[in-house]
Amino acid sequence: MQIQLVSKDKHELDAYVCSPQNQKKGSIIVIQEIFGITSHIESVCQSFANEGYKTIAPALFDRFEKNIILNYKQIEEGKAYKERLDITDAMNDIDAAISICDGPVAIVGYCFGGMLAHIAASELKMNCAVSYYGGLIAENHLDKSPDCPVMYHFGEEDFAIPMEKVDLIKENYPEAIIHTYPNAGHGFNCEMRNDYHELSAETALDRTLTFIANHC
């Protein structure tokens, strides 16, 4: 279901929402990749809703125009939108999603969204955060101090995030839970990407759900 959110700067944006049918455990904010609210992101939302969580994916690229949905070959277009998006605007839009959550709140971000989940953990109020292969954390965002428990997932074959960058994150955040996955590349959770790695995706999801259940 699509709804409309209003950020504190009065910006209006769409959000994809899935509600649980049975037991309600809390809420999860899903933060998109550079490709927008794709069918993959919608399926991620539905999978979390099936576990009992109200799930909300704010359309962060609505800052530019509505319905920006790219295919997974449009990497350069996605990077261009990412570079245009102001981090403060992104935090405002994520916070707008948090404002309609029910119960405890977790944030789960993928790729670009993984970086934003890392930042949000230090700037917004939530119970926990999960970052999947968040890029540029080691390069630009080690100054952040998360105010909640954070879990990170990285593929050991990720061309964009080499293991030495993951080691820097480990050194800076010794309290964080950091998992790495052999034979997994960037985007290993997404079945629509060439780097999809089923075993790693399933393992990471199990760990994510357990982590969220422990904190929400």
* pLDDT exceeds 90 at position 21: no
pTM: 0.97
Other residues' Cβ atoms within 10 Å of the Cβ of residue 6 = 13
* pLDDT exceeds 80 at position 23: no
pLDDT of 71: 96
Other residues' Cβ atoms within 10 Å of the Cβ of residue 179 = 15
Give me 31's structure tokens.
């933060």
* pLDDT exceeds 80 at position 12: yes
- Which sequence spans correspond to the domains of the chain? 2-215
pLDDT of 24: 82
- The label of the residue with tokens 């969580």 reads 53
**CATH code of the region 2-215:** 3.40.50.1820
Judged on CB neighbours under 10 Å (0-12, 13-18, 19+), 23 is: exposed
Give me 46's structure tokens.
């539905």
pLDDT of 128: 98
Other residues' Cβ atoms within 10 Å of the Cβ of residue 198 = 11
Dump pLDDT digits (tens) for 71-86.
999 999 999 999 999 9
Segment (H or E) for 10: none
What average pLDDT does the chain have? Answer: 97
Alpha-carbon distance of 71 to 79, in angstroms, equals 13
Dump pLDDT digits (tens) for 192-207.
999 999 999 999 999 9
